[in-house]
Amino acid sequence: MFELENPKYFYLLALIPILVVLFLFNLVWKRKKQSQFSDLELFKKLSPEKSTFKPVLKIAVLSLAFACLVIALVNPKMGTKMETVKRQGIDIVFAVDISKSMLAEDIAPSRLEKTKQLVSQIINELGNDRVGIVGYAGSAYPVLPMTTDYGLAKMYLQSMNTDMVSSQGTAINDALKLSVDYFDIKDTSKLIILVSDGEDHGVGADEAIGLAKDKGVRIFSIGMGTEKGAMIPIKDNRGNIISYKKDQNGDNVITKMYPKTLKSISDKTKSKYINGANTKEVVEAVKSQLDKIEKTEFESQQIADFESQYQWFLALGFLLLLVDIFLLEKKTAWVQKLNLFNEKKNE
């Protein structure tokens, strides 16, 4: 398994095309100047040892050397073995509403995008906890099983969209039941963080709440949207609004946030509800909730002993620079005899 310590340095690779363009510009400029002072064929006869291929080889070697030095700055690391480590934390499942109503923009940039921002910030504040992700609309969908890889969790989170679940609606009961099933270790402390606008077109969440209480699972809920509501935009591939979702009568659908539904769910599991409009307040509330939950010890496997590999690229980069220094633009005798590049024409 690989890990990049400083991936930001990859931006330096953009200098290579600039270097190549400058080389080509210089090559054209030289040829233009030569043609002004003498005939090109005569110039070739006056400089029979000058190679037309070597300058191209030199710029290729120089570009490759620069790329190696950039990779050395990035410092790729390789994990050498798997080991089992013991952690103290809790199991957290994020149940994320991905119904069409989450496209409403009564919270900027939209309910769904705000949800992704919130969950990412919460994950950033975690320590040794395991996390899982469930997406739901008219039905629930397992997005990510329990893991301690927060980078992977955030990557899956960003990929979530309203097309992941074909059946539309907001079946909170199904989402909570699936989330409860995620908790495979009996003795760990458990928390579901439900992020939704509270619209429920299912059969209610009483059954799932009962299952959660039986397993000692608390449900912390975050409300997304406003009680005033907003229309649901329909956008083209460029993100421009072309219309709004309409009901059977042709009227624009107004989707509202229902905090009472979410607060009721949290109250029944001795947890808390909070409005998701203010990111800082939500993160602080979640941290406060986590501090009240007893941490338990569990085992997890992870890649260990990551070793830096920059030295190989650094050595190769300096070697190529050394080759570039001694790579003269005159023709190489044994290559000239082979006439690989048709530089020696028969008279």
Q: Which DSSP category does 188 fall into?
A: S
**Confidence category of residue 347, pLDDT binned at 50, 70, 90:** very low
Q: What average pLDDT does this structure show over 327-341? A: 55
For the chain, give every domain's residue range. Answer: 2-75+309-338, 85-301
Q: Helices 172-181 and 259-268, interaxial angle, to 10°?
A: 30
Of residues 174 and 85, more confidently modeled: 174
Tens of pLDDT along 190-221? 999 999 998 875 566 888 999 999 888 999 99
Largest CA distance in the chain: 97
Of residues 295 and 95, more confidently modeled: 95
Tens of pLDDT along 93-148? 999 999 999 999 999 999 999 999 999 999 999 988 889 999 998 889 899 999 88
Phi-psi map region of 313: left, alpha, beta (phi>0 left; psi -120 to 50 alpha): alpha
Residues 95, 101, 106: CA angle, nearest 5 degrees: 105
Pairing of strands 190-196, 91-97: parallel
**Predicted confidence (pLDDT) at residue 334 exceeds the cutoff of 50:** no
| H-only helix segments in 167-229 | 172-181, 206-214
pLDDT at residue 257, as a whole number = 93
Q: What average pLDDT does this structure show over 43-69? A: 76
Q: What are phi and psi of 326, to 5 degrees?
A: -90, 0
**Confidence category of residue 152, pLDDT binned at 50, 70, 90:** very high
**Predicted confidence (pLDDT) at residue 270 exceeds the cutoff of 50:** yes
**Predicted confidence (pLDDT) at residue 90 exceeds the cutoff of 50:** yes
The sign of the torsion formed by the CA atoms of 330, 332, 335, 337 equals positive
**Predicted confidence (pLDDT) at residue 23 exceeds the cutoff of 90:** no
Is-contact 98 112, C-beta < 8 A? yes
In this structure, the number of other CB atoms found within 10 A of the CB of residue 329 comes to 14
Q: Is 0.75 topped by the overall pTM?
A: no
pLDDT at residue 85, as a whole number = 62
**Predicted confidence (pLDDT) at residue 69 exceeds the cutoff of 90:** yes
In this structure, the number of other CB atoms found within 10 A of the CB of residue 126 comes to 18
Those residues whose C-beta lies under 8 Å from the C-beta of residue 246, and which sit 6 or more positions away, are 252, 253
Residue 126 CA to residue 192 CA, distance in Å, equals 14
Q: 233 in helix, strand or coil?
A: strand
- Mean pLDDT of all residues belonging to the chain: 83
Those residues whose C-beta lies under 8 Å from the C-beta of residue 190, and which sit 6 or more positions away, are 90, 91, 92, 93, 183, 215, 216, 217, 218
Is-contact 258 310, C-beta < 8 A? no
- Assign domain 85-301 to its CATH superfamily: von Willebrand factor, type A domain (3.40.50.410)
Q: What average pLDDT does this structure show over 157-168? A: 85
pLDDT at residue 65, as a whole number = 92
**Confidence category of residue 30, pLDDT binned at 50, 70, 90:** confident
Instruction: Enumerate helices (H) and strands (E) in the chain, giving the number of each.
Output: 11, 13
**Confidence category of residue 6, pLDDT binned at 50, 70, 90:** confident
pLDDT at residue 57, as a whole number = 83
